[in-house]
């Protein structure tokens, strides 16, 4: 299975999810978003790349703080939503469709790259980290968040219930949200891309979905393509029961990372 096929699979997933992402998933990601803003510090006057911008939630925080923000995402549907949401937000320079593994951006053009729970979904992690390093100016920083391993994430516990009803699976090797969860692997990727002064902090974060129905909507967008229509209601009932058992907000352990180019 080629990385091109895996990348197309990831693009299709987030294109499909773009219709619900801002209302359903962004509220659940407020804790990692706030943590990254704190890690970024004073961004006034900085050229900032929002890498894997989704619906633009991070850009909405960084632009008004004085940054000049370029927001990019692999999924055209996400970019369409982000463009609409960011149209009147101060500090937004451009919002474009772009692959983090092959950025159409000049070398050394940013002071800060922010990647909020995005780089883990790149099939070629080494290429994505190398590109983030390439577009940073010397001394510029990458600040990123990614989830930990599957056993550290209650979202995986819930998602696995729905996945049991699937009769297909994503292409082999398609990265999951836990693809960068191993700290040794993550550090090796950062070092291999040329980053130094690497600081990695493990943090338990609450995913504040608006409610059980919203959580099911998120699970369905991830797993629903692979669940037969005649099993979807059974999957919903079982997943809702698991959400009730685990309890909202869900808790995921993730990595907060700062590294210098």
Report which of 208, 229, 83, 202 is spatially closest to residue 154, judged by C-alpha positions.
Answer: 208
Q: Where are the domains of the chain?
A: 3-260
Average pLDDT of span 188-216: 97
Q: Does domain 3-260 fall into CATH 3.40.50.150?
A: yes
Average pLDDT of span 237-255: 98
CB-side exposure of 75: number of CA atoms within 13 Å?
A: 24
How confident is residue 172, by pLDDT bands cut at 50, 70 and 90? confident
pLDDT value, residue 1: 47
pLDDT value, residue 2: 62
Q: Which two tokens stand for residue 18?
A: 């773009």
- Convert the pLDDT of each residue in 59-93 to its tens digit: 999 999 999 999 999 999 999 999 999 999 999 99
Q: Are 215 and 248 in contact (CB under 8 A)?
A: yes
pLDDT value, residue 173: 84
Q: Are 5 and 170 in contact (CB under 8 A)?
A: no
Q: Are 100 and 78 in contact (CB under 8 A)?
A: no
- The whole-model pTM stands at 0.96
User: In whole angstroms, how large is the CA radius of gyration of the chain?
Assistant: 18
Q: What percentage of the chain has pLDDT greater than the value 70? A: 99
């Amino acid at each position: 299975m080629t990385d091109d096929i895996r990348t197309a699979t990831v693009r299709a997933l987030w294109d499909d999810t773009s219709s619900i992402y801002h209302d359903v998933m962004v509220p659940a990601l407020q804790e990692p978003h706030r943590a990254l803003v704190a890690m970024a510090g004073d961004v006034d006057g900085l050229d900032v790349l929002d890498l894997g911008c989704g619906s633009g939630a991070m850009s909405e925080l960084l632009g008004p703080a004085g940054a000049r923000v370029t927001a990019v995402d692999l999924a055209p549907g996400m970019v369409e939503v982000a463009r609409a949401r960011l149209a009147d937000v101060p500090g937004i320079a451009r919002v474009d469709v772009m692959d983090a593994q092959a950025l159409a951006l000049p070398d050394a053009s940013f002071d800060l790259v922010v990647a909020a729970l995005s780089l883990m979904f790149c099939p070629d992690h080494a290429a994505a980290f190398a590109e983030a390093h390439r577009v940073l100016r010397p001394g510029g920083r990458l600040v990123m968040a990614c989830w930990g391993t599957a056993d550290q994430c209650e979202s995986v516990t819930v998602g696995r219930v729905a996945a049991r009803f699937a009769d297909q699976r994503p292409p082999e090797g398609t990265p999951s949200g836990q693809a960068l969860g191993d700290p040794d692997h993550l550090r090796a990727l950062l070092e291999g891309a040329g980053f130094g002064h690497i600081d990695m902090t493990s943090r338990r974060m609450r995913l504040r979905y608006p409610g059980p129905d919203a959580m099911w909507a998120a699970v369905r967008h991830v797993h629903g393509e692979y669940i037969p229509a005649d099993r979807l209601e059974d999957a919903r009932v079982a997943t809702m029961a698991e959400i009730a058992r685990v309890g909202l907000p869900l808790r995921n352990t993730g990595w907060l990372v700062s590294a210098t180019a």
